[in-house]
């Protein structure tokens, strides 16, 4: 579930050109976004018990709940069924929209005033949409309901901050995810490669080792690559972001006014990362278009895949012919292994006709009962400190799934901006990296061009 999908440039500009929204449905108006924290604190060893789901409500009505991710469909349906027990008068129509269509459909609906009453939102799109006053502020409801406030409070602090503007809550945290490297242990064995030792937090698992493994896991027959060592996609969350930050680089400067990927630590990290594609150890665009990336891994065509915890359930369901496990992001020469962290929020649309009814639904999703469904089923890591631990049940495969938790304290959020949107200034970076990976364009030249264009966008200059 590629959770860093952003507003497309064309869609965002279209959205920015909309007339101002009608009379606000909530008193709290968005101000300048609070800076997202850079790391999540270590998980509490004894998390507070939190509140159970609210007692049965007498509310009546119906609402829509839009989400993406077929791998989470069963969990969402289970939440809907559980909600019926506490709110028999409320009907929830859960609408699964494929990832590739989700944002176009949601943005079009918001622009036309016909958005679903509740929906999934991710952090970068949250930043852009709340700045446009498109989201309903839930802070007044939290302030007047002690049980709801307690359920909100038990979420990890950075996730609450990420879904708040001006210290007002606009979306209820749902889950969080970090990034690791999924590995095919059978292919490791066939290539004579050992699973690295975990005794010292996998310290031997560095860029040099990763490069060696990627090369040895790549196979060719008759001039055609039949097995790739690693999947290195041109993406931030499951790709180059992790290499840049591990190497001491950044994407933006502290006040988010200048792109910094042209600085040496970031450029060195990008050079290392794109080399996996240039050397043929990773599938290129043509191969990626012909087969789903997850399927490439669970059908044994990939030795390693950089991926988030949301794919663990999918892999467990589909991998039948080999053993698999996880490794952390490889250590950079800095001695650091840092991954990107992200999370979703359950959101109420600003124009929802009955926001109180909608709040009953997202409040349930954020309750201990509603959140536990995500953890117990191994779907995603819940955003609550107590229910998050359910996802790391040692009986769940793979053996080292706890890497997703152990790397949480040092994980870093993507530095999103509201205006201009993240999508606008990141687009030239992605475009130039595509030219590097697919056409062999000089990396330094490409990044210099990307930085110049992105900085012009951040400065509000025409491109």
CA distance 116 to 327: 39
pLDDT at 421: 86
Comparing CA positions, the residue from 191, 182, 179 lying closest to residue 304 is 182
**Amino acid 122: pLDDT:** 93
What's the pLDDT at 292? 87
Assigned superfamily of 9-177+342-404: Periplasmic binding protein-like II (3.40.190.10)
Report the SS3 class of residue 207: helix
pTM (2 decimals)?
0.81
CA distance 143 to 149: 7
**Secondary-structure class of domain 179-339+420-458 per CATH:** alpha beta
Query: For the chain, how are helix, strand and coil distributed in percent, rounded to 5?
Result: 40, 15, 40
pLDDT under 50: residue ranges of the chain: 1-55
Give pLDDT, residue 57: 59
Residue 138 and residue 170 in contact, taking contact as beta carbons nearer than 8 Å: yes
Confidence at residue 127, expressed as pLDDT on a 0 to 100 scale: 86
Sheet-wide strand order for 324-327: 219-221, 224-231, 302-308, 179-184, 324-327
The answer to whether 72 and 380 are in contact (CB under 8 A) is yes
Identical fold for domains 9-177+342-404 and 179-339+420-458, yes or no, is yes
Ranges of each domain in the chain = 9-177+342-404, 179-339+420-458
Q: What Cα–Cα distance (Å) separates residue 343 from each residue in 125, 171, 193, 445?
A: 12, 11, 34, 34
Give the pLDDT confidence score for residue 37 in this predicted structure: 37
């Amino acid at each position: 579930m590629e959770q860093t999908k952003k507003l497309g440039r064309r869609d965002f500009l279209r959205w920015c050109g909309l007339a101002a929204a009608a009379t606000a449905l909530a008193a709290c108006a968005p101000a300048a976004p609070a800076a997202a924290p850079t790391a999540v604190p270590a998980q509490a060893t004894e998390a507070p018990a939190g509140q159970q789901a609210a007692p049965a409500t007498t509310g009546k009505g119906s609402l829509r709940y839009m989400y993406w991710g077929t791998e989470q469909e069963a969990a969402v349906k289970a939440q809907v069924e559980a909600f019926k027990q506490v709110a028999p008068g409320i009907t929830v129509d859960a609408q699964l929209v494929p990832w590739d269509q989700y944002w176009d459909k949601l943005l079009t609906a918001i622009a036309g005033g016909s958005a679903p009453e509740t929906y999934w939102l991710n952090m970068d799109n949250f930043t852009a949409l709340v700045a446009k006053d498109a989201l309903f502020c839930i802070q007044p409801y939290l302030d007047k309901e002690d049980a709801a406030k307690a359920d909100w409070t038990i979420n990890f602090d950075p996730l609450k901050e990420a879904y708040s503007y001006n210290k007002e809550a606009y979306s209820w945290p749902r889950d969080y995810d970090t990034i690791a490297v999924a590995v095919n242990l059978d292919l490791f064995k066939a290539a004579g490669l050992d699973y690295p030792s975990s005794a010292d937090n996998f310290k031997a698992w560095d860029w040099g080792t990763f490069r060696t493994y990627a090369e040895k896991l790549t196979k060719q027959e008759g001039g055609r690559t039949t097995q790739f060592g690693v999947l290195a996609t041109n993406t931030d969350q499951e790709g180059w972001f992790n290499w840049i930050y591990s190497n001491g680089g950044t994407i933006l400067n502290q006040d988010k006014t200048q792109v910094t990927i042209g600085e040496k630590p970031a450029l060195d990290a990008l050079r290392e990362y794109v080399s996996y594609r240039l050397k043929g150890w990773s599938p290129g665009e043509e191969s990626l278009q012909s087969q789903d990336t997850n399927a490439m891994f669970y059908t044994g065509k990939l030795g390693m895949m950089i991926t988030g915890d949301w794919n663990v359930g999918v892999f467990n369901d589909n991998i039948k012919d080999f053993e698999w496990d996880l490794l952390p992001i490889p250590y950079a020469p800095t001695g650091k292994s840092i991954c990107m962290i992200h999370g979703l929020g359950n959101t109420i649309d600003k124009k929802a006709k009955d926001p109180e009814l909608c709040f009953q639904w997202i409040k349930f999703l954020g309750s201990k009962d509603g959140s536990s469904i995500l953890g117990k089923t191994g779907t995603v890591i819940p955003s609550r400190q107590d229910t998050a631990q359910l996802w790391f049940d040692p009986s769940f495969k793979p053996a080292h799934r706890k890497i997703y938790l152990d790397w949480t304290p040092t994980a870093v959020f993507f530095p999103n901006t509201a205006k201009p949107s993240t999508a606008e200034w990141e687009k030239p970076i992605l475009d130039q990296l595509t030219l590097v990976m697919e056409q062999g364009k000089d990396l330094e030249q490409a990044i210099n061009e990307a930085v110049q264009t992105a900085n012009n966008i951040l400065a509000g200059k025409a491109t």
